[in-house]
Amino acid sequence: MLDFGMSVLPLARFQFAMTTIFHFFFVPMSIGLSLVVAVMETMYVIKKQKIYQNMAKFWGKIFLLSFAVGVVTGLIQEFQFGMNWSEYSRFMGDIFGAPLAIEALLAFFLESTFIGVWMFTWDRFKPFWHAVMIWMVFLGSSISALWILTANSFMQHPVGFKISSATGRAQMTSFKALLTNPQLWYEFPHVVFGAFVTGAFIMAGMSAWMIFRKQSTEFFRKSMRIGLVIGFIACLGSAASGDLQTRYVMNEQPMKFGATEGIYNKTADPAPWAIFQLTNPTKKTANAKIEVPDMLSILAYHRLNASVKGMNEANTSLHQKYDHQFGKKMNYYVPVNTLFFAFRTMAAGFGALAGLAVLGLWFSRKRKNTIGKQRWLTILLSIATFGPFIVNTSGWLITELGRDPWVVYGLLPISAAVSPSTSAAAVLFTNIVYFLLFLALASFMFFYAKKALYKGPESVDDTPDQKTEDPFSKEAFSK
Ligand code: HEM
């Protein structure tokens, strides 16, 4: 079989990273946009001002685009399990089956059915019932995320299973344990807040760009403000859930935590936090450090006096725990530089987005609205449209690369999960095809989003809805 001197494993891993990162551009985008559209339609129901309905219709178009591209990329994602990761599918099938089936049958169907009805019934339902539909779409997409993360959390922290002595596969023993997995309840809020950040800043950023272009400025100022309010609250939610997750990771996956902090040995007490450092994974040293004194003790333990264990200590305990099963040669060190900088990108992204939200809200307030004159701010906010994609990807790099060398933590090493019968040539070929397909989908998304944006809203009408009178009613005749 052709293999071009390459091996299947790195190619399959590259494919998984590429498809997952690309797919996860659209997942938080559609969850987040469904929320902002639902908020706008609810404001229309409450305030009865036409502009909010126009906003919901306008941003609804961008939401529908992201949903469509998300479905296509999700299908590609599924192909890989059978093609490149058949050993993983065989091992995990019994665990994965139930959550993924429920996701497809309940959550995805709920979401897609209501999207279909919502799209075509603007004039057929009362505003209240039409708004209920978009909330159902939002509910469906959030429940969808819950089921997918149930499966993902099992891979990080397996619970409610036994290994069958006959087949060597993981068998579910408790569905309840799967659903009450602590990993899930740390991960789910963080991912969902991240999705709200994404939808909100996409809307705020695109609106800021239109304010910069001086097109339908009042419509886009209002849209931007709604986006920034939701975005700011979601940033706070991301930081609070991220803080809880940090301490959970420190206890459950100390190697991952050590790598995000770039520490090899137990730190001094109190521990400084490195804003920047150059880590050498071969020599296991860190140089050129820029540190904030005591900060790591505060981040890790919320107190001023605490030391933190490093990767070397984690490595010793992992060998003690798993050597009898997986041998002494297992390498438990994870890609330290990627995790270290990914964590700082995520933290800096949070600070930058929250700060921009505050500035944007301040300069666009109704009484002293000068946002149109703050050209620098509208440019920064426009660039922020892309910020959540970078922040989310950084987060996932930590979560998934920090799980090395396992595909299912403590149970199945990555090297044992790959398909034995796939050739490097086949994986290389699909890598190229998927890459081209993603390029086409991204261009399509970008082109149509830009077209819809530049076309602008159908109307920027700001007047309250007039109650329409039935010309044959009693009241009409008595006037
Ligand atoms: C705008 C702000 C943020 C966004 C959009 C974001 C997004 C994400 C995403 C998508 C993940 C991967 C999924 C997961 O494991 O939860 C993640 C992981 C993580 N995030 Fe964030 N994040 C943000 C801010 C923060 C902050 C401020 C902290 C720390 C206080 C933090 C701590 C973490 C940790 C520790 C992980 C890894 C968890 C694990 O491996 O289980 N995040 N983040």
User: Ligand 1: which residue has its CA nearest to atom 19?
Assistant: 395
- 91 closest CA partner among 175, 178, 170: 170
Any residues with CB less than 8 A from the CB of 364 and at least 6 apart, and which?
A: 221, 224, 225, 228, 371
Separation of alpha carbons 254 and 109, rounded Å: 39
- 24 closest CA partner among 16, 12, 13: 16
Q: How far is the CA of 346 from the centre of ligand 1 (A)?
A: 7
Instruction: Dump the DSSP string for 146-176.
Output: HHHHHHHHHHHS--SEEE-TTT--EEES-HH
Would you call 104 helix, strand, or coil by DSSP? helix
Residue 4: the pLDDT is 63
What 8-state DSSP symbol labels residue 125?
A: S
User: Ligand 1: which residue has its CA nearest to atom 29?
Assistant: 242
Residue 468: the pLDDT is 45
Q: How far is the CA of 396 from the centre of ligand 1 (A)?
A: 8
Q: How far is the CA of 190 from the centre of ligand 1 (A)?
A: 6
Terminal CA-CA length for the chain: 88
Any residues with CB less than 8 A from the CB of 425 and at least 6 apart, and which?
A: 1, 2, 3, 4
Alpha helices in 278-335 (DSSP H): 295-301, 311-326
Compute how many other C-beta atoms are within 10 angstroms of the C-beta atom of residue 7: 11
Mutate to test the pocket of ligand 1, among 245, 299, 308, 409 (most ligand atoms within 8 A of CB): 245
Ligand 1 atom, smallest distance to 347 CA: 27
Retrieve residue 116's tokens: 């279909």
Which of left, alpha, beta for 278 (phi over 0: left; psi -120 to 50: alpha)? beta
Q: How far is the CA of 157 from the centre of ligand 1 (A)?
A: 17
Query: Residue ranges of the chain with pLDDT lower than 50?
Result: 467-472, 476-479
Separation of alpha carbons 257 and 265, rounded Å: 12
User: Ligand 1: which residue has its CA nearest to atom 32?
Assistant: 242
Residues within 6 Å of ligand 1 by CB: 187, 190-191, 194, 197, 235, 238-239, 242-243, 245-246, 249, 256, 346-347, 349-350, 353, 388, 391-392, 395-396, 398-399, 402
Contact yes or no for 178/150 (Cβ under 8 A):
yes
Any residues with CB less than 8 A from the CB of 315 and at least 6 apart, and which?
A: 255, 332, 333
Ligand 1 atom, smallest distance to 402 CA: 40
> How many Cα neighbours within 13 Å face the side chain of 453?
25
Strands 406-408, 412-413: parallel, antiparallel or unpaired by DSSP?
A: antiparallel
Separation of alpha carbons 479 and 477, rounded Å: 6
Would you call 464 helix, strand, or coil by DSSP? strand
Residue 2: the pLDDT is 54
Ligand 1 atom, smallest distance to 400 CA: 40
Contact yes or no for 141/107 (Cβ under 8 A):
yes
Preceding omega of 272 cis (within 30 degrees of 0): no
Beta strands in 259-306 (DSSP E): 273-280, 285-292
Residue 476: the pLDDT is 46
User: Ligand 1: which residue has its CA nearest to atom 43?
Assistant: 395
Separation of alpha carbons 315 and 87, rounded Å: 26
User: Ligand 1: which residue has its CA nearest to atom 7?
Assistant: 392
Separation of alpha carbons 452 and 206, rounded Å: 11
Please report, as a single letter, which amino acid is at residue 346. M
Contact yes or no for 53/127 (Cβ under 8 A):
yes
Would you call 282 helix, strand, or coil by DSSP? coil
Q: How far is the CA of 119 from the centre of ligand 1 (A)?
A: 33
User: Ligand 1: which residue has its CA nearest to atom 35?
Assistant: 246
Mutate to test the pocket of ligand 1, among 181, 190, 238, 247 (most ligand atoms within 8 A of CB): 190
Residue 98: the pLDDT is 83
Would you call 187 helix, strand, or coil by DSSP? helix
Which of left, alpha, beta for 214 (phi over 0: left; psi -120 to 50: alpha)? left
Looking up tokens 């057929």, which residue turns up?
124
Give the alpha-carbon dihedral of 131, 133, 134, 138, to 10 degrees.
Answer: 130
Ligand 1 atom, smallest distance to 235 CA: 1
Q: How far is the CA of 193 from the centre of ligand 1 (A)?
A: 10
Residue 105: the pLDDT is 78
Separation of alpha carbons 87 and 364, rounded Å: 55
Retrieve residue 352's tokens: 């930058």
- 454 closest CA partner among 273, 210, 224, 281: 210
